[in-house]
Structure formats: structure tokens, C-alpha cells
Amino acid sequence: MAKTTVVAPAAAKEQYLQLHRWMCMAKALDDRMHMLVKQGRAPFVGSSRGHEGIQVASTAALGPDDWLVPHYRGLANSIVRGLTMKEWMLAVFAKADDPLSAGRNIPGGCYSYHRLNIAPVSQVVASWVPKAAGIAYAAKLQGEGSVTLCTFGDGATSRGDFHEGVNFAAVHRLPVVFVCENNSYAISVPIRLQMANPNVADRAAGYGIAGATVDGTDVPACYAVCKEAVERARRGDGPTLIDAKVWRMNSHTSEDNHVKYRGKDEIDEAAAHDPIARFGAWLLERGWLTADDLARAQAECDAEASDAADWAEQQPDPIAEDALKNVFA
Ligand SMILES: Cc1ncc(C[n+]2csc(CCOP(=O)(O)OP(=O)(O)O)c2C)c(N)n1
């Protein structure tokens, strides 16, 4: 079963265009969800705007049998693995056929998707880091050859789970790539109150593993760094800790209002670091897309997201009798 589309090393034109398309899909879903929340039709959105560059690049560096353990902000990661807009919208509307959590969890908050080797997204910050190490450990013991990609925010690196997971992976030279999507906020807590050294990858030396810092809005740079890390993991040379600097363009979630703790200048600056605009300009410079192509790509994705939402909203709700299904205690 094909689990994902793989972008080969030294990605060529068509592969870069595919990365751009995935970013547009993520933006389209994100924008549509914000609209649905405002209309009272959807409950919640934890936006991935600003993170799409590192998300598509890191996930595209994986192979079809590799594993993705993303954080709750990882919509673009899941899209690269093969999540469709309709599937995402089934989850947004908590429908019976939602393949992510059968309508049980907030959109994007907690889910897994076995068909796409995505397991498991959790709201408990950093709890998935030891799980990613465990998946990689199992793969190593079973001689499977798969690599696990684990993503999290800068705030997650302050938790004990982060240390335990990365240290275990380092000691056992596990095939795992840790990507910190460093947006310099944990909800309203700025990075200066989380760590005295804002460069998360500097900690790699302390664990005895490889580390790399990359501009997370620079898609080709992210792809190169992540591809190298995946290859390192696959040949048995252990984990890599990547610090990808990004800008969170929206509030933490739709339950938050960043105007209360970020100045206007900073919010404007975050908007100026849109990885989709940056990557679009890069494609334009190469003559691989025209301005019209860029606008059309986004418009097509926006229309697909709108159709997916309208379709999903009409699908059947879960039945009451199923409320306790798969609840063990
Ligand atoms: C163990 C735990 N503590 C607190 C929270 C509340 N919480 C949810 S998201 C979040 C911020 C995490 O920030 P970061 O890891 O930087 O990721 P970001 O959301 O910025 O992408 C917090 C504190 C939680 N979900 N789990």
C-alpha cells in the first residue's frame, strides 16, 4: 500500500512544485478552519501557519515505510504522508467516519492514522518524544529499517519527556530525527523564559548526537538538512536534533489572542516570514512558476478545502451507542 509520496534527494523542479502544493493545501485548510470557527461550525483550530516549510520538507525526506510522530500543529506533515482534505474535514466536524479519532478529539489535537504510519498525536506536550524513541527502538530490534520523524515545539524541550526520549534514542543510536519547530513561544511564554540558550540544537552535543540549526521558512535548506538526518538515521549512525526557526503567524490556537502578549511590530514581522510566500518567490525566481501559477495553486486548494468542508459537514455523526467503543477503563 502506498503510504506517502517521496521526494528524492536534491529535489528537482517537479518535486519542489509538489512541496509547494502541499503547503498551499495546509494553508487552505487552516484558513477554512478559521472561517468555520468564526461561523460557529467548527470547534477549534491550532494553526500551522508559519510552520509549513519545515513540515513539508522534513516529512518529504521520509520514505513510505517510515513513521511520523508529529505535534498537534503538524497539519502539513500529515498532508505529505497522504492525509486528504476530506479526511481532515471529517475530523474537524467530528464525524463517524473520521479516520483520525472517529470524532472523539478536537481537530488536530489527538489522533493517529495507521494507514499513513502517523502515531500518535497528543496534547500532552512532549509525551510523544519517548514514544517516537520507542517506535524507533522497535524498528531497530526488528531490523525493519524504518526511520521515525518526531516533531515538537520549543516549549516541549523544557519537559522531562523530551530529555528522556532524546537521551534514550542517543544511547541506543536509534533511527530517529527530532525536529524542533522553534516558533519561540509556548502559548504566551517567550523563549527567553524557557531556555538561556535559544539554540535547541546546541543540546545535541550533550546527548552525543548530531545537531543542526536551520531557517525553518527556507524550504530547500530544510529539505537538505532533513534528508541528511534521515540518511544518517537509516545507515545506523543515530539520531539528529534539528532546530528549525519559524515564526508563529497566528495566535497559539483559536482559544488564544496573541495581541495580549505580542506587540504589533512582532506580529507584522511574523506575517512577513510566511514560508509559503518565501518559497513561492523562490520558485518564481527560477522561472518554475509564474505569479498566475502561484495564485492559481492557492485558489485551487482553497476551493478544494471549501468543498471538503461542505461535504464533510453533511456526513453522518457518530452514533450514541459507539460512545464507549475502544474506551478501556
Ligand atoms: C504537559 C502539558 N503541559 C501544558 C500543556 C498546555 N499546553 C498546550 S500547548 C502548550 C505550548 C507548547 O509550546 P511549544 O512546545 O513551543 O509548541 P507550540 O504550541 O508553540 O508549537 C502548552 C503549555 C499541555 N498540553 N501539556
pLDDT tens digits, one per residue of 194-250:
999 999 999 999 999 999 999 999 999 999 999 999 999 999 999 999 999 999 999
Q: Which CATH architecture does the domain made up of 13-310 adopt? A: 3-Layer(aba) Sandwich (3.40)
Ligand 1 atom nearest the C-alpha of 125 is 26
Ligand 1 centroid to Cα of residue 160, in Å, is: 13
Q: Is the CB of 70 under 6 A from ligand 1?
A: no
pLDDT tens digits, one per residue of 61-87:
999 999 999 999 999 999 999 999 999
Ligand 1 centroid to Cα of residue 125, in Å, is: 5
Can you say whether the dihedral through the CA atoms of 246, 248, 253, 257 is positive or negative? positive
Q: What's the rounded Cα separation, in Å, for the pair 251 and 274?
A: 14
pLDDT tens digits, one per residue of 268-315:
999 999 999 999 999 999 999 999 999 999 999 999 999 999 999 999
Ligand 1 centroid to Cα of residue 188, in Å, is: 10
Domain locations along the chain? 13-310
Ligand 1 atom nearest the C-alpha of 248 is 20
Q: How far is CA 69 from CA 2, 75, 208, 285, in A?
A: 18, 12, 22, 34
